[in-house]
Structure 1
């Protein structure tokens, strides 16, 4: 019963943060499954991807009124991200018998990805990384979207973490676009990438569906609630706390908390 309530609570908090900020799904849930629930690293990644796919779709519906989704940039980003995520997930799934890689390399990769993601989140909170002035609008060329998508896709395929956050950071670093364009990209592409990546792990039997079900019982009301109260909460404060939580989770994995 305690385990059930712990997972329900983790789903609720993570869903609420996804609905509120659009980020934090894999960055909080994968470390939770590894460190608290003591999941095998590959099973943790596969379980989180299915959880994230469903939660992001519901979160996207909750946020749909905020964004104008352009199909063309989503297409070009998917050209890079989908093959990269399939290659990344294929690599990890081919190493299931290599315990050294699974028990050492994967938690370390997860840990470093979380550290990078947390730095990006905190940089955005401190406005070191953010949208430029509207007068300086520069849209990415298709080839740039393909490369950025490939980086995010490979990360998601191997770790389930960082697709949305890292992709958003690269777009903010090198380009300047209206916020609704970026939100649309994040919502539609993020859900698509999570779904495609999740299928590789489902087909390999690396998903714990009973855990996914319990987590969704918490996350679906949480993501809906987060999307509803987004205008009444100090998002900078929430993102700052989220950044620190993600940094702590990354540090925990690097120090051996996932073993």
Structure 2
């Protein structure tokens, strides 16, 4: 079984390296559906997995100057308190009860669908906003909207471990359409590090992290992400995103039905 976890980490790592998104959207449903891991344990373990892997990405983007730290601060102002409050709510309602497990399962499905929408329409949304600058928020309204976006993402990520990647990037494109793709990726990864770390710490407190499983996933994901990143230049992005969208849609349908 450990080998299967390593292989799964490797496969997800390749897809993340190729497309830049899909880590939580693929890993959590994979653990739940393929290996029969309880949803709360799958979420907790994936959050720890995401926190560890995103640290390296943050250092790389920081070195390249791709992170907008002012936006990161505003996102964290909403996301981090939301992660703490959601963790306390999970503790109160019970993460291992059948009812809570079903809620988490459905939240994962919703998050996956949001990720699919983000993958398919992010470019069109950015193009429309650039063509209609009067629709863009400015000043205090933009700051408030960014904090609210962080609050939504913090809640979503803590419950399902999904949303910090493609959904977060799409919200950044909507709020800040003038950001370059590299700035979107760097800012998205940077705010996700403290968010996933706090959410993972909360799930550790709740007892919903499988450390042996986490180690096996990381063992496979590191070379997978490296190989995927190297191959990304040779594979058309549209094909990759379409493939990922179809895969995630199938996963979400399976989770619901």
1:184-203 residue CA offsets vs partner (Å, 9 max, x unmatched): 21121122211111110112
The answer as to whether partners of 1:81 and 1:152 remain within 8 angstroms in 2 is yes
Partner of 1:223: 225
> 1:66 Cα deviation (Å)?
5.5
Partner of 1:235: 237
Assess, with a 3 A threshold, how the Cα gap between structure 1 residues 223 and 98 changes in structure 2: closer, same or farther. closer
Partner of 1:212: 214
Q: Which structure 2 segments of 5+ residues have no match?
A: none
> 1:41 Cα deviation (Å)?
1.3
2: CA distance, partners of 1:82 / 1:97: 20
1: CA distance, partners of 2:248 / 2:87: 22
Partner of 1:19: 17
> 1:134 Cα deviation (Å)?
9.1
Partner of 2:197: 195
Q: Which structure 1 segments of 5+ residues have no match?
A: none
1: CA distance, partners of 2:62 / 2:236: 21
CA RMSD of aligned residues (A): 2.3
Describe the SS at the equivalent of 1:72: helix
Partner of 1:184: 186
Partner of 2:124: 128
1:207-228 residue CA offsets vs partner (Å, 9 max, x unmatched): 0000000000110111222233
2: CA distance, partners of 1:120 / 1:40: 27
2: CA distance, partners of 1:97 / 1:172: 33
Partner of 1:110: 108
Partner of 1:253: 255
1:2-27 residue CA offsets vs partner (Å, 9 max, x unmatched): x2222111101111222232211110
TM-score computed with the length of structure 2 as normaliser: 0.88
Aligned residues: 251
> 1:139 Cα deviation (Å)?
7.0
The answer as to whether partners of 1:96 and 1:102 remain within 8 angstroms in 2 is yes
1:107-142 residue CA offsets vs partner (Å, 9 max, x unmatched): 112112212221221223xx4333554995957622
Assess, with a 3 A threshold, how the Cα gap between structure 1 residues 196 and 240 changes in structure 2: closer, same or farther. same
> 1:244 Cα deviation (Å)?
1.2
2: CA distance, partners of 1:50 / 1:75: 21
> 1:83 Cα deviation (Å)?
0.6
2: CA distance, partners of 1:22 / 1:40: 26
Partner of 2:35: 37
